Amino acid sequence: MSRSLATLVLLVLSGCGQRPVESILADADFRFEHGDYAEARQEYAQATARQPGRWWAHYRLGLCLIELDRPGDARLALEIAHTQNAREPRIVESLAEAMLQQGDDVELFAFLKREAETAQTVDAYLRLARYADLVGDPDSARAALDTAIVIDDGRTVEPYLQAAAFSQRLGDMDEAVRRLSQAYFINPRDRRVSKRLRELGEVPGPTIGVPPGR
């Protein structure tokens, strides 16, 4: 047998011994769902090495690394996933979490601000508000909440609930009640709204609703 043919046979045989990437990912997902992040990380790392274009594998690898308290490595994996699938909100959320754990507040805010300005969605601005609040930037958090409320245009109670919680944390109970009253106007049947109003000493009813808006 010639050297070139022998080399070809070895390559074929070694290739036959490799597990299919789909099988690797199935095992990785199983381990991940059962909280075995160390083993899942190895599986996802193998899958991304074999097929680098799998955004899901990079994303799940990043989640494993967050769970294993390795935010720097998680950020690298999630940045690759985000490059491959920039419209996936789960990647954005996890990448923000990795940045937060790293303590990179400046880049975290810049990243989420870019994402919100690009997406122009309620969820993107609520995420920006939540993380701005976490890093101690209440002015940016309030501005993001106001923008979310404008974009939402009175369709849902979500931005009002978050705005109420934010105001309550700042000790502004009047503003918290106002935001909850707006939420009640939008959907008086939402039990979360009624519960929060009662916790603040208000009685839900027809007269408490306030039209939505900033």
Residue carrying the six token digits 């491959």: 84
Q: Which two tokens stand for residue 160?
A: 């009002």
Question: CB-side exposure of 4: number of CA atoms within 13 Å?
Answer: 0
Cβ contacts of 15 within 8 Å, gap of 6 or more = none
9 vs 214: CA distance, rounded Å: 71
Given 42, 69, 103, the domain boundary residue is 103
Contact 155/143 with Cβ under 8 angstroms? no
What are the pLDDT tens digits along the chain (214 aa)?
A: 444 434 433 444 444 458 899 999 999 999 999 999 999 999 999 999 999 999 999 999 999 999 999 999 999 999 999 999 998 999 999 999 999 999 999 999 999 999 999 999 999 999 999 999 999 999 999 999 999 999 999 999 999 999 999 999 999 999 999 999 999 999 999 999 999 999 999 999 989 999 998 7
Rounded to an integer, what distance in angstroms lies between the CA atom of residue 7 and that of residue 72?
40
Q: For the chain, what is the domain count?
A: 2
Return the pLDDT at 17: 56
Residue 180 lies in a domain: yes
What letter does residue 205 receive in the DSSP assignment?
S
Domain boundary among 88, 103, 118: 103
Selection from 122, 111, 31, 43 nearest residue 75 by Cα: 111
pLDDT score at 18: 81
Residue 68 within any structural domain of the chain: yes
